[in-house]
Structure 1
Amino acid sequence: MGNAKSSALSKEILEELKLNTKFTEEELCQWYENFQTQCPSGRITPEEFEKIYERFFPESEAKAYAQHVFRSFDTNEDGTLDFKEYIIALHMTSSGTMSRKLEWAFSLFDVDKNGYITKAEVENICQAIFKLIPTEDQPKLPEDENTPEKRANKLWGYFEKSDNDRLVEGEFIKGVTDNENAMRLIHYSPINA
């Protein structure tokens, strides 16, 4: 039965995913079977992706963030995620190296996909991340992070750029790697009470 499932997934894609992720052939075939069950069309639409995120963040407004994540994963820019894009995204965000995760984070912040980040894009993503924070946790945030604007200003400050400067991928990765607080600000983690 396992062979029947692996034949449904093309050998080329299977081999490519085995080379580029830490998933085994058996895991990939299981993921593919689940993907086909959940997405019979073989593609995830932005709306379906938003529903997935809403299940992960039931106490939050996840739609804006989900839209940015979807955009960053839709590498062929066709408006859907196919199985390959889905698995690469899953690998990158769950078991990829820190370097790969930061490359993905850069693509998340590069809203217009032009190869660099502006302060306006940082503000855009910080707005979406802030909406993931449940309302009851927002008062627990440090004073200099308790609004999306303050978080964006704090994060942008770590890169030592003026408001009109641009940030390329290497600068982004270095700035985040060099500062633990910057790392914390580029994503949302629940506040521990």
Structure 2
Amino acid sequence: MGGSSSTQVPKEDLAFLLANTSFSKPQIKQWYKGFMRDCPAGQLSRQKFLEVYSEFFPGGNAEEFCEHVFRTFDADNGGTIDFKEFLLAINITSSGQITDKLNWAFSMYDIDGNGTIEKAEMVQIIAAIYRMVSNGKDTPAETAEQRTERIFIQMDKNKDGVLTKQEFINGCLSDDVLCSMLTASAASK
């Protein structure tokens, strides 16, 4: 660690990422090189994350959505994202199994981390997505509240007003459109 150059992935990180992602050794090394070029201190700050993420949505406001994504990527709640956290998150959101993506998405929607998604939490995330993808002209057919209500009608099987992880996953797995909307790919829709 102390003596390793910033161009080489620490051996223990490389071994961990090879075992826990679908990336090959050369791919991990390439990701690391880019990460260290953009984040020479080895930590991705909230501000830098927002700058990078906002480039993908130039017509909208990505700040609030980025906060939720950042919180979910920052697994240790350290206030920054290190390379391992970054690559694990990239792996899940880009090439992970659907259940991994759904678990990740559930964590993002469960803002308070209590193990359930309340309607207010889902409204907050959906509203943030709307603001991010908005180009100032297009307005969604439904408000965030209306869309949340429709999702809860479909997913909240026991009608208790909250979604458990199992209800969320089962609901997404039984509806491809809903799954696409609620997982990380929702940002590109």
Q: Where does residue 15 of structure 2 map in the other structure?
A: 15
Q: Where does residue 153 of structure 1 map in the other structure?
A: 149
User: Can you give the 5+ residue segments of structure 2 that lack an aligned partner in the other structure?
Assistant: none
Q: CA deviation at 1:153?
A: 1.6
State yes or no: 1:104 paired with 2:104: yes
1:150 partner amino acid: Q
State yes or no: 1:68 paired with 2:68: yes
Aligned length: 182
TM-score (norm 1): 0.86
- The 1:76/1:41 distance shift into structure 2, 3 A limit, reads same
Post-superposition CA distance 1:106-153 (Å, at most 9, x none): 011010112211111111111111112223232xx4x4x2x2222222
Quote the RMSD (CA, aligned, Å): 2.0
Q: Where does residue 133 of structure 1 map in the other structure?
A: 133
Q: CA deviation at 1:87?
A: 0.2
Q: Where does residue 86 of structure 1 map in the other structure?
A: 86
Partners of 1:162 and 1:122 in 2: how far apart?
Answer: 18
Q: Where does residue 187 of structure 2 map in the other structure?
A: 188
Give secondary structure in 2 for the equivalent of 1:188. Answer: helix
Partners of 1:22 and 1:6 in 2: how far apart?
Answer: 23
Q: Where does residue 170 of structure 1 map in the other structure?
A: 166
TM-score (norm 2): 0.88
Q: CA deviation at 1:51?
A: 0.7
Give secondary structure in 1 for the equivalent of 2:55. Answer: helix
2:137 partner amino acid: E
The answer as to whether partners of 2:69 and 2:108 remain within 8 angstroms in 1 is yes
Q: How does 1:1-12 map to 2 (within 5 A)?
A: 8-12=8-12
Q: How does 1:46-57 map to 2 (within 5 A)?
A: 46-57=46-57
Partners of 2:90 and 2:105 in 1: how far apart?
Answer: 13
1:137 partner amino acid: D
Partners of 1:86 and 1:188 in 2: how far apart?
Answer: 18
Moved more, 78-87 or 117-126: 117-126
- The 1:189/1:9 distance shift into structure 2, 3 A limit, reads closer
Q: CA deviation at 1:7?
A: 7.9
Give secondary structure in 1 for the equivalent of 2:58. Answer: coil
User: Can you give the 5+ residue segments of structure 1 that lack an aligned partner in the other structure?
Assistant: none
Q: CA deviation at 1:158?
A: 1.6
